[in-house]
Amino acid sequence: MKKQIQACIIDDEQDGRDYVALLLQNEFPDLHITFQGRSVEDAYVYLTKNSPDIIFLDVQLTDGNAFDLLSKFKTIASQIIFITAFENFAIQAIKNAATDYILKPINKIDFISAVNKALENIKKNKNPVHAPIHNKISLPTLQGFRLIDIENIIRCEADSNYTTFYLSDKTKITVSKTLHEFEESLSYHNFFRIHHKHLINLNYIREYIKGKGGQIIMMDHSVLDISVRKKNEFMEKIKYLQ
């Protein structure tokens, strides 16, 4: 039997919740709304016990904001679609792994596009080969697999069809999989691909050196190039780490 996609709506305004529910009913009748709430506390209580596939999340809530809520969780596996009247939260939403960001008043086409994106991500992640298990990632070995704490990964380096993981205990693990196969799942844990060869844990950056693309020095003393096309996006991300 096909599992029904579950969604919840967190918005401090009843009209906002009703309109999202109406759009879902009309455009995505197979989605099941399991919860509606108006505050950080409402949502926190629900999300500690449930893991909906999609969260429609207003930024400004009755007792705080969406980022106050998300900060209470180490990770949230749900697809998060932010809905807000304020443009200035876009970068912060991206930092919090937003699936999409919709401005009020909601444009129906934008809404449909965002939900379709979330559904596509759910489909892709349904059985990912190397999906993180909570705060760990599975790395294949000749004998089976090895579970690694994601927070202990400093960086990943691509070499053709191989990827080497550099860990905080100064060990490294090389697996016969491409870096691309790990990139999406690790991106939810503050990793960013600065170059076609390098996927880094932003928490382990020691220093940035200016240049055309620039370079970064990691906590393991490695010096890595940033590709020119990735520089602007990288600078936006580290802005919120300072």
DSSP 200-229: EEGGGEEEEE-SSS-EEEETT--EEE--HH
At residue 52, the pLDDT reads 92
State in words which class domain 136-239 has. Answer: mainly beta
Question: Measured on CA atoms in the order 125, 145, 74, 239, is the torsion positive or negative?
Answer: negative
Q: Is the pLDDT of residue 129 over 50?
A: no
At residue 233, the pLDDT reads 87
Over range 97-109, report the average pLDDT. 87
Over range 156-177, report the average pLDDT. 92
Chosen CATH of 6-125 out of 3.40.50.2300, 1.10.10.10, 3.40.50.1010, 3.30.70.2700: 3.40.50.2300
pLDDT-above-90 percentage for the chain: 53
At residue 105, the pLDDT reads 92
Over range 174-191, report the average pLDDT. 87
Q: Which residue has the higher pLDDT, 36 or 124?
A: 36
- DSSP three-state, residue 162: strand
Q: What is the pLDDT of residues 193-207, one digit of tens each?
A: 999 999 999 999 999
